[in-house]
Amino acid sequence: MTTILFNKPYNVLSQFTDKGSQGSPRQTLSDFIDAPGVYAAGRLDRDSEGLLVLTDDGKLQARIADPRHKLAKTYWVQVEGVPDDAALQALRGGVTLKDGMTRPATVRRMDEPDALWQRDPPVRFRKSVPDCWIELTIREGKNRQVRRMTAAVGHPTLRLIRYAVGDWSLDGLTTGQWRQV
């Protein structure tokens, strides 16, 4: 069994080929990882960064990706504005989205992560609007869920980094780097 932890950079597809490209090809996992037979367990959008678990074990892949298993996924989220206690409490209680109510989340305000790498391109900041980092842990995986949750409480996501999946984390991985576990 092969399991790989990869710190996916911004603007990289969570797949090994780019089937949808009309113009110049976009970066994929194959630009970083040369390990035949492994596939991403779950998805991480192209405009999101951070931990992606790849494996050749179908059971492990299902346990990570299937919401029925309620595996915790922790994100570092830079949001526009500074969420007050009511916004954080709304996230903790579950947020109503177009496709239904989210499960309760664990959330806290946090300082900018110490080991944070520069994003290319950088996040566009507005001088008149402050920003803030939160740590958000969910146990489901609706499409673009974290972004939709923060927007629903009035704080759009500026930058989204998946820090952990279950017991695995980004610790010790720089952007674009991977290791086998």
Domain 3-180: which topology?
A: Alpha-Beta Plaits (3.30.70)
- Cα 140 from Cα 103, distance rounded (Å): 7
- For the chain, what percent of residues have pLDDT higher than 70? 99
The pLDDT of residue 126 is 80
Higher pLDDT, 164 or 65: 164
The pLDDT of residue 21 is 64
What residue segments make up the domains of the chain, in order of their start?
3-180
Of 31, 45, 57, 131, the active-site residue reads 45
120-136 pLDDT, tens digit per residue, is 888 887 888 899 999 99
Per the structure block, which two tokens stand in for 161? Answer: 């980094």
Q: Please give the radius of gyration of the chain, using alpha carbons only, rounded to the nearest integer.
A: 16
62-84 pLDDT, tens digit per residue, is 888 887 788 999 999 999 999 99
Question: Dihedrals φ, ψ of 135, to 5°?
Answer: -110, 125
CB of 80 within 8 A of CB of 155? Answer: yes
Per the structure block, which two tokens stand in for 50? Answer: 């951070």
Note if 45 is an active site residue: yes
pLDDT at 49 over 90: yes
CB of 97 within 8 A of CB of 142? Answer: yes
